[in-house]
Amino acid sequence: MAQIFSRKANALPTLSLMAALGGGVFAIFAIWYFFSPEYTDVGYAPPQPVEYSHRLHAGQLGLDCQYCHTQVTNAAFSNVPATQTCMNCHSQIRTESVKLLPVRESWVTGESIEWVKVHKLPDYAHFSHAIHTNNGVGCETCHGRIDQMEVVSQVEPMSMGWCLECHRQPELFLRPDDEITTMGYEPPSDYVQQNLLRVANEKILPPTNCSACHY
């Protein structure tokens, strides 16, 4: 009897150690899971059907974002350009390039190029480009230095906490409307004061109530 009791008593610390270890493993797993690129999506850069480079087109050639993403200031969805937009140039430039073969095929068959979406919010969260690009939020603030990317990758978590960080203090992030598509924008030293004035004058009030984003 005494032996059984003492065994049980001895089992206790072992059990709690196992629980602690198990908990440790769980915590490590949870941290790994929630902070891995698959979960936060930061760093997600899927290969695309055409080796299209923003670094070349938006960076070196200096094309404005809106040359291709034409809907970004008047719709929720920021469109990816139709093949026609590429052919404006590529019907004359690099017409023999193998890299452009899928573009020419799409042009002949009329079937759109199947670009792989990089940024994706869950269906239960609503987002509109127009409301942001018309209220002083630049592409760069959410998408980073696209003009330096060979392949587009996600640079911000696009999590709820991230959205709210700006919604609570927009004055830290806004820029003048004519700088929306500027890459490498450098704000003047008194930009927070300027933005506070603008926020008050234009009544810029990003919502923090749940139903604004979840409906």
Is 120 near ligand HEC (CB under 6 A)?
Answer: yes
Q: Which amino acid is at 32?
A: W
Is 93 near ligand HEC (CB under 6 A)?
Answer: yes
- Rounded to whole angstroms, the Cα distance separating 150 from 64 reads 16
- Rounded to whole angstroms, the Cα distance separating 167 from 1 reads 66
Q: Which amino acid is at 43?
A: G
- Rounded to whole angstroms, the Cα distance separating 204 from 175 reads 13
Is 55 near ligand HEC (CB under 6 A)?
Answer: no
Q: Which amino acid is at 101?
A: L
Residue whose CB is less far from ligand HEC, 159 or 194: 159
* Binding residue (CB under 6 A) for ligand HEC from 42, 80, 192, 196: 80
Minimum CB distance to ligand HEC, residue 120 (Å): 4
**79's tokens:** 């469109």
Q: List b or e across 195-208, with b for residues whose CB sees 16 or more CB atoms inside 10 angstroms.
A: beebbeeeeeebee
* Binding residue (CB under 6 A) for ligand HEC from 26, 27, 55, 72: 72
Is 200 near ligand HEC (CB under 6 A)?
Answer: no
Q: Report the site for ligand HEC in 132-151 (rule: CB under 6 A).
A: 132-133, 135, 137, 139, 141-143, 146-147
State the burial class of residue 119 (Cβ atoms within 10 Å of its Cβ: 0-12, 13-18, 19+): middle
Closest CA to 185 of 151, 154, 143, 157: 143
Q: How many residues bind ligand HEC (CB under 6 A)?
A: 76
Q: Report the site for ligand HEC in 6-45 (rule: CB under 6 A).
A: none
Which part of the chain contacts ligand HEC (CB under 6 A), choosing from 6-14, 16-24, 28-36, 59-67?
59-67
* Binding residue (CB under 6 A) for ligand HEC from 97, 112, 148, 193: 97
